[in-house]
Each structure stands twice: as structure tokens, then as C-alpha cells.
Amino acid sequence: MPAYFVTGTDTGVGKTRTSAALIHALRGAGHARVVGMKPVAAGCDWVDGINGHPGQWLNEDVVALRQASSLHVPSSFDNPYALPAAVSPHIAAKLANTEIDLDHIEANFHALQQHADAVVVEGAGGFIVPLCEQPGVFLTSADLAQRLWLPVIMVVGLRLGCLNHALLTQEAILARGLTLAGWVANAVDPNMPEQAANLATLQAHLQAPMLAHWGWDPQATPAELAKRIDLP
């Protein structure tokens, strides 16, 4: 069963649009039941329940993944931790008086695997963003990627500094024994100087294929972007 862990060189580089596009691409490749998973979402709005259903904290990235998915599951499966504060997950968890448990996330991921033909897991922030900080315990998104042991797709936000961020992220992924299955170049700064030269450097030094290069196009939908991405 295809499953991928999507990480980014930073926050705000296009992980969600990449994850949603991957979901559409997998559906287009013949996988009928494809679901996105956002294990930890920090920055949620309260949504009142309707028709007797309870209210819930809801993150816009989670909404985007659910809209792209062809398999709809209980919210506790595809988003185990919905945290109100838009800050680093480990801080948001403390503010919400909870603790992010990787065992719980892994159990929900395996539950999704039982029902889906393909799963796309979107990490939070950059690759080593903290998830849990307790006395004697410090866990990051990288630890989660290792726990799930999925091939990683890295989203590179094309802007000044992206070379350093991309190469460091690649180094961290490979150092943990994970497979870098591919990367996506996503233009986040329409005025980035020497974008073509930066892209050439990335292609020369990243040890995985470029799956897509998306120019500045904030109106593009995930379904449209899926037509311009290669599956690993």
C-alpha cells in the first residue's frame, strides 16, 4: 500500500498543497480509497456541532486534506491532535494541557492503513519541529517519521535561504535512515532572485528525483497540481 510522509524545509512552504496534490495523483493512478492524515495540527478554530454532532477544533490544513481524500474517516483517525494555539506543537500541546503521544499517532495511522488503499501523512512545520517536551523526553516530527517508517517527500519552498534549508533537511532525513523518495520545488516568493540557478543547484545536490516544480500560482487547486506531479 503506498504511503508517504510529507515534510517541508520550513513552515509555510506548501506541505498541504503538496499532500493534497499527492492524494489526487494517487486517486488518478487507480487507488480508490486514499486518505490524508495530519497527525498534529497547531492553529485551530472552534467549529460548533450541527445535527447533534459535538463541536470540534478544526485546522484549515486538515480541511484541505479531507476535501482531497476519497476516504472519509473519524476525525480522531486523520487528526489525532487538533491544538488551538498557532505555535510550535510542543508549546501548543502544553497550552491545551495535553501531551502528544507517538504511540497514539502510530495506532491511528495503522487504523487508516486497514481501510485505505493509500495514505499521505503531512508533518507539522519543518522536519525536526518539536512535538513533545517533558522531563527527560524530547520528541520531534523526525521521530514520528522514523516511527511510521515511511518514505519521505520533501517540499522545498523556493525563496532566499532554500538551499541551506533543503540540504540540511535532506541530511537530517538520511541520517535517520529514512528514504528520501522525492522532492517538490514550490515557488513561495514570486520575486525570488536567480530562481533558476537555485533550482539547478537543488537538482544537482538533492539525492532524490524532483517530483514537481510549481511556479508562483496561489490559485492553483490540488487537482490541477496533481496533473503536474510525478508519483515516486
Residue of 15, 38, 94, 227 marked catalytic: 38
Is residue 102 packed enough to be buried (19+ CB in 10 Å), middle (13-18) or exposed (0-12)? middle
Q: What is the DSSP letter of 33?
A: S
Q: Taking each helix axis from N to C terminus, what angle separates 60-68 and 15-28, rounded to the nearest 10 degrees?
A: 10
d(CA 38, CA 80): 8
- Picking from 178, 164, 177, the residue whose alpha carbon sits closest to that of residue 121 is 178
Q: Is 123 left (phi over 0), alpha (psi -120 to 50) or beta?
A: beta
Q: Is 97 left (phi over 0), alpha (psi -120 to 50) or beta?
A: left
Phi, psi of 141 (to 5 degrees): -60, -30
Retrieve residue 171's grid coordinates.
Answer: 541530511
Catalytic residue list contains 94: no
List, by residue number, the catalytic residues: 38
